[in-house]
Amino acid sequence: MTRPLLLASALALAAAAAPADARPIAPPAPEPVLDPASRTALAHLPFDTALVASIHVADARQTPIGRRVLAALERDRAFQEVAADLRKQVGFDYRRDLERVWLAMPSAALDGGDQIAFLARLTIDQERFVKWLRHQRGRDLAERKAGTVTYYVAGDTAWAFLDREHMLVAHTSYVEQVLAVAAGRKHSAAANRPLVLVAAEASRPGAHAWMAVLVPEPVRSRLREGALTAPLADVRWTAGRLTFGDEARWRGQVKTTRRESAQALVGVLRQMVETAAASRPLEAAGISASLRQTVIAADGDVVNLEGALPGQHAGAVLEAVLAP
């Protein structure tokens, strides 16, 4: 028998031996895709970024909850004085010209450091803003350079424009690490594949706000030392997102090292939710019952969380947080 006939016979025998209900193995689900604006933001941040969070201001302010938050901000006199001065002196209106904001922190900040950066995507006259900043800060404002980028420092805060639409506001202990990316002296977070995948998981379409965290090994090591925190030591990353509508919906994933860790973590998270729901502030705000409805379940080595909060209650909580 020739080789082609032998191969055909083997295939026929294999097919005959297979169970009648056998199905082809399904291909793996496609990886989530990070939106272009967030990928650009990561390209401005250092490779060792461990936490990144974002709020899509332009979309969120069109929702009932977003409008309520804006109304709360507008009752804050100090905030409104600054906003009015920016409109007059710079032509910048946060209600119109601020599109997205990202917050980023490196692993060292999760370990207790003070490194933090905010990156805003906005439309603004940069020269007029710098002139306004000089007027506001006076002699306290110092002008410095990192490579070709000029940045401005006052106290523990630094400002810099990274391109025509991205403004950086960072802690002075961290600003030069961020600007090293712009100078090509440091790889960007856009090349950090684990972070990009977690950020893509967090920022699924429709999310108005999201957060992604890679848990560094030093933090996990300390968690292992405590009896109460030991179940959290196997967490590799977390991803969560918020969607605003008639209600505020949240969804999240916690990736662990193994199935057993995920199962153990379900109980820990349920206890944490119950403890929070039983607190007096949340009971007084009328959201304890909604919080207790949070669904927490393990799927392999991942824990999924999902819940919702009525819009009026979510708005009240945000107003309380923003109250002067």
What is the rounded CA–CA span in Å between residue 132 and residue 169? 15
Domain end call among 174, 189, 204: 189
- 220 and 184 together in one domain: no
Whether 7 is in a domain gets the answer no
pLDDT in tens, 299-317: 999 999 999 987 665 555 5
Between these two residues, 96 and 26, which has the higher pLDDT value?
A: 96
- 240 and 174 together in one domain: no
In the structure, what pLDDT confidence band is assigned to residue 22 with cuts at 50, 70 and 90? very low
- 139 and 288 together in one domain: no
Give how far the C-alpha of residue 107 lies from the chain's centroid of Cα atoms, to the nearest Å. Answer: 14
- 53 and 163 together in one domain: yes
Query: 288 is in which domain, residue-wise?
Result: 215-324
pLDDT in tens, 156-170: 999 999 999 999 999
Kindly list the distances between the CA atom of residue 245 and the CA atoms of 163, 202, 262, in Å, as whole numbers in the listed order: 33, 18, 31
What is the rounded CA–CA span in Å between residue 48 and residue 78? 35
- 68 and 128 together in one domain: yes
Whether 137 is in a domain gets the answer yes
The pLDDT of residue 315: 55
Check: CB of residue 252 under 8 Å from CB of residue 241. Answer: yes
- 227 and 181 together in one domain: no
- 158 and 225 together in one domain: no
Q: Which residues pair with 188 in a beta bridge?
A: 46
Whether 23 is in a domain gets the answer no
Check: CB of residue 42 under 8 Å from CB of residue 106. Answer: no
What is the rounded CA–CA span in Å between residue 93 and residue 80? 11
Split into its structural domains, the chain has a count of 2
- 179 and 260 together in one domain: no
Kindly list the distances between the CA atom of residue 269 and the CA atoms of 84, 235, 266, 293, 305, in Å, as whole numbers in the listed order: 44, 12, 5, 13, 9
The pLDDT of residue 144: 95
Check: CB of residue 34 under 8 Å from CB of residue 207. Answer: no
- Residue range 252-265: average pLDDT? 93
Is the model's pLDDT at 206 over the cut of 90? no
Check: CB of residue 128 under 8 Å from CB of residue 90. Answer: yes
CA end-to-end span of the chain, whole Å? 88
What is the rounded CA–CA span in Å between residue 50 and residue 237? 9
Kindly list the distances between the CA atom of residue 8 and the CA atoms of 5, 22, 73, 243, in Å, as whole numbers in the listed order: 5, 20, 74, 55
Least confident of 21-30, 226-235, 276-285: 21-30
- 38 and 175 together in one domain: yes
pLDDT in tens, 23-53: 455 555 566 789 999 999 999 999 999 999 9
Is the model's pLDDT at 20 over the cut of 60? no
